[in-house]
């Protein structure tokens, strides 16, 4: 709807330019907002205030001229001037009802992408395989998966890339330990954290061991067959742990999405070479660097992106440059989104800039770091176990499911245990994911079981419960929530109109999530939708409606609410339940 209004304003501006009211060559960003107070219309724009000056008119005068120049549109019933010169648009309720009827009949709920479909690389999860995946990787996995799902739903081609850390000096230590304890691979590796600690201890305690670890790094880099075998075995086990976590979380990630750092090894020399031939390299203390003037340290000196160490080794940035080139040239991406800790912001800004200057990505390719904050404990401090260790993802999910199970059991003691377990799973995992998704990704976030499992507020249990309320209406009537329902939507009560306006925003909300990579926008939307549904449900009886046409209309609104909630939750990666 906002897009429609923007287009109407655009046309009015063009008319006024032709008529000489506005000067040539203006291309303002036309802003259209949802009105808070519906008695002043549904949408408002400040365009007349923005352009009054160049037009040499008072804002209200320009607003009048704009209204006269606006083309008629069946979706808009009237436009008024308000305050200093706002344009207030009233949406035509019949048009709104018709659009919702059409959405109900459409499997895609009439959601369309605002721009052309794109090929989008989503870089997500990307844990380091040397250690067990921990809570820090939760955010990248969950948020990245949520955005990827929204992009797919809008019709983009999404290529998930799990850029796992499967290379580097720490592997020497791990391989040395595997070599020393041949049986460890099968027993101790089931607990990677343990394995890592044991090898680190050997490395610190024994100079011979440390020496062997260094030899193994060299051998690994020289593609020594025995070494590669051990390394492969290690990564296989570590990746299977990750896959187990993805499955448990319901994240759409598979082994086919893994394209680890090592996959770019054979291109790193060429990356450095290419940078050299473009004249972008300088040597600094024996290391090969690209200096970019825009990035300076505290003393005002340009910061380097180091691409090759004095000893010849390559770095994290070198691999990222190779990955960008691959994503542009081989994957033909229009856009690449990096769901990585906010603390890597500078790394990405600089690496993106180097890739552009070197021509590693095509000029139109969008490169975006979708940074996220740190996950803290309920006390606001970095998330740790009681004894200070890192919290394992799997332990966390176990606890979430167990707590959800107990909560639901206390509420519904009559349900059998198998169903309670199923509900516990959906609610527990959903709560963990939703808590993360519902905050703006760039802020730090406190992990708090009580809060995320509460049935009140913007939480998974609240939304899942809201969905079951809709589902129960349809279960009682033995109807399904789709276009096979009779009748048409008619908007009469304010609760119906408010719910309908919210439902009509679904497309816009999803487009926003896709543009900004911020699933919390969808969470807020679903939470508001659930609230509006709840008032509608209280004030506009369905089963006891006065007449058949009213009942049909309300059922259709309820169906579209249920479908939108269900679809929205699915896009966030949450399952829904028919009852709980
Ligand atoms: N493995 C890295 C880490 O855990 C994240 C990699 C993110 N992706 C990338 N293309 N750099 O810090």
Where in the chain are the domains? 2-91, 170-253
| Distance from Cα 161 to the centre of ligand 1, integer Å | 11
Ligand 1 atom nearest the C-alpha of 348 is 11
Contacts of 59 (CB under 8 A, 6+ apart): 48, 49, 52, 84, 85
Q: Which atom belonging to ligand 1 lies closest to the Cα atom of 316?
A: 11
**525-544 confidence digits (pLDDT tens):** 999 999 999 999 999 999 89
pLDDT at position 187, please?
A: 67
pLDDT at 194: 82
Q: Both tokens of residue 153?
A: 């739903």
Is 320 touching ligand 1 by the criterion CB < 6 Å? yes
Q: Is the CB of 59 under 6 A from ligand 1?
A: no
User: Ligand 1 mean position to 441 CA, how many Å?
Assistant: 17
| Ligand 1 atom with least separation from CA of 341 | 12
Q: Which residues of 21-48 are buried (b: 16+ CB within 10 A; e: fewer)?
A: bbeeeeeeebebeebeeeeebbbbbbbb
**Per-position pLDDT tens, the chain of length 580:** 788 899 999 999 999 999 999 988 888 899 999 888 878 888 999 999 999 998 899 999 999 999 999 999 888 999 999 999 999 999 899 999 999 999 999 999 999 999 999 999 999 999 999 888 877 788 999 999 999 999 999 999 999 999 999 998 889 999 999 888 887 766 666 778 888 888 999 999 999 999 999 999 989 988 999 999 999 989 998 999 899 999 999 999 999 999 999 999 999 999 999 999 999 999 999 999 999 888 988 888 889 999 999 988 999 999 999 999 999 999 999 999 999 999 999 999 999 999 999 999 999 999 999 999 988 887 778 777 777 777 778 888 999 999 999 999 999 999 999 999 999 999 999 999 999 999 999 988 888 999 999 999 999 999 999 999 999 999 999 999 988 899 999 999 999 999 999 999 999 999 999 999 999 999 999 999 999 999 999 999 998 999 999 999 999 999 999 999 999 999 999 999 998 8
State in Å: Cα 53 to ligand 1 middle: 49
Using the atom order of ligand 1, give the atom closest to the CA of residue 137.
4
Residues 500 and 557: beta-carbon distance below 8 Å? yes
Which pLDDT value is given to residue 186? 67
Q: What is the pLDDT of residue 185?
A: 64
Cα 134 to ligand 1 centroid, rounded to whole Å:
14
Closest protein CA for atom 11 of ligand 1: 320
Calculate the CA dihedral of residues 39, 43, 49, 51 and round it to 10 degrees.
-150
pTM of the model: 0.91
Distance 318 CA to ligand 1 centre (A): 13
Residue 556 pLDDT: 97
C-alpha 563/C-alpha 557 separation (Å) is 10
* Residue closest to 42 by CA, chosen among 7, 8, 93: 93
**Residue of the CA atom closest to atom 5 of ligand 1:** 126
- For 139-242, strand residue ranges (E) read 157-161
Compute the distance from residue 316 Cα to the ligand 1 centre, in Å.
Answer: 8
- Alpha carbon nearest to ligand 1 atom 3, residue: 127
Question: Is the minimum distance from the CB of 165 to ligand 1 under 6 angstroms?
Answer: yes
Q: Is the CB of 123 under 6 A from ligand 1?
A: yes
Distance (angstroms) between ligand 1 centre and the Cα of 122 equals 12
Give the residue, by CA position, lying nearest to ligand 1 atom 6.
Answer: 126
CB-ligand 1 contact for 170 (6 Å cutoff): no
pLDDT at residue 388, as a whole number: 72
306 and 299 Cβ atoms separated by less than 8 Å? no
364-404 per-position pLDDT tens digit:
999 999 999 988 887 778 777 777 777 778 888 999 999 99
C-alpha dist (Å) from residue 373 to 195, 314, 573: 28, 28, 20
Please tell me the CATH code under which domain 2-91 is placed.
3.30.1360.70
Q: What is the 8-class DSSP label of residue 27?
A: -
The residue whose CB lies within 8 Å of the most ligand 1 atoms, and thus the one to mutate among 130, 165, 372, is 165
């Amino acid at each position: 709807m906002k897009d429609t209004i923007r287009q109407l304003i655009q046309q009015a501006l063009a008319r006024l330019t032709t008529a000489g009211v506005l000067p040539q060559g203006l291309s303002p960003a036309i802003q259209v907002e949802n009105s808070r107070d519906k008695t002043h219309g549904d949408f408002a724009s400040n365009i007349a205030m923005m352009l009054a000056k160049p037009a040499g008119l008072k804002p209200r005068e320009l607003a009048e001229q704009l209204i006269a120049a606006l083309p008629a549109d069946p979706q808009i019933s009237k436009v008024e001037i308000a305050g200093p010169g706002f344009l207030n648009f009233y949406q035509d309720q019949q048009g709104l009802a018709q659009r919702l009827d059409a959405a109900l009949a459409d499997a895609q709920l009439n959601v369309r992408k605002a721009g052309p479909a794109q090929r989008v690389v989503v870089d997500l999860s990307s844990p380091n395989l040397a250690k067990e995946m921990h809570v820090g990787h939760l955010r990248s996995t969950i948020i990245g998966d949520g955005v990827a799902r929204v992009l797919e739903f809008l019709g983009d081609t999404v290529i998930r890339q799990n850029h796992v850390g499967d290379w580097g000096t720490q592997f020497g230590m791990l391989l040395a330990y595997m070599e020393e304890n041949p049986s460890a691979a099968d027993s101790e590796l089931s607990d990677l954290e343990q394995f890592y600690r044991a090898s680190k201890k050997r490395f610190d305690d024994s100079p011979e061991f440390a020496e062997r670890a260094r030899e193994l790094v060299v051998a690994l880099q020289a593609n020594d067959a025995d070494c590669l075998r051990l390394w492969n075995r290690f990564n296989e086990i570590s990746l299977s742990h990750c896959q187990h976590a993805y499955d448990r979380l319901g994240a759409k990630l598979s082994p086919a999405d893994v394209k680890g750092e090592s996959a770019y090894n054979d291109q790193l020399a060429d990356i450095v070479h290419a940078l050299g031939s473009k004249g972008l390299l300088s040597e600094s203390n024996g290391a090969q660097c690209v200096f970019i003037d825009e990035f300076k340290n505290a003393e005002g000196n340009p910061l380097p992106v180091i691409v090759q160490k004095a000893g010849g080794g390559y770095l994290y940035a070198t691999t990222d440059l190779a990955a960008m080139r691959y994503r542009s040239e081989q994957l033909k991406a229009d856009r690449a989104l990096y769901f990585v800790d906010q603390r890597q912001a500078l790394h990405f800004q600089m690496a993106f800039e180097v890739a552009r200057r070197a021509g590693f990505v095509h000029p139109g390719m969008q490169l975006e770091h979708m940074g996220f904050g740190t996950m803290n404990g309920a006390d606001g401090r970095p998330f740790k176990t009681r004894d200070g260790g890192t919290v394992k993802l799997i332990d966390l999910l176990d606890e979430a499911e167990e707590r959800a199970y107990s909560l639901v059991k206390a509420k519904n003691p009559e349900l059998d245990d198998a169903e309670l377990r199923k509900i516990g799973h959906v609610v527990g995992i959903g709560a963990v994911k939703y808590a993360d998704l519902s905050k703006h990704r760039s802020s730090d976030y406190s992990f708090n079981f009580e809060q995320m499992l509460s049935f009140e507020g913007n939480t998974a249990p609240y939304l899942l419960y809201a969905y079951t309320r809709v589902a129960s209406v349809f279960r009682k009537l033995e109807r399904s929530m789709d276009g096979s329902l009779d009748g048409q939507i008619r908007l009469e009560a304010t609760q119906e109109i408010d719910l309908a306006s919210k439902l009509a925003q679904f497309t816009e909300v999803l487009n926003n999530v896709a543009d900004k990579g911020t699933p919390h926008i969808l969470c807020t939307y679903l939470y508001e939708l659930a609230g509006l549904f709840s008032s509608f449900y209280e004030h506009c009886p369905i089963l006891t409606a006065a007449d058949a046409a009213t009942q049909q209309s309300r059922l259709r609104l309820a169906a579209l609410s249920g479908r939108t909630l269900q679809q929205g939750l699915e896009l966030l990666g949450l399952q829904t339940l028919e009852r709980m």
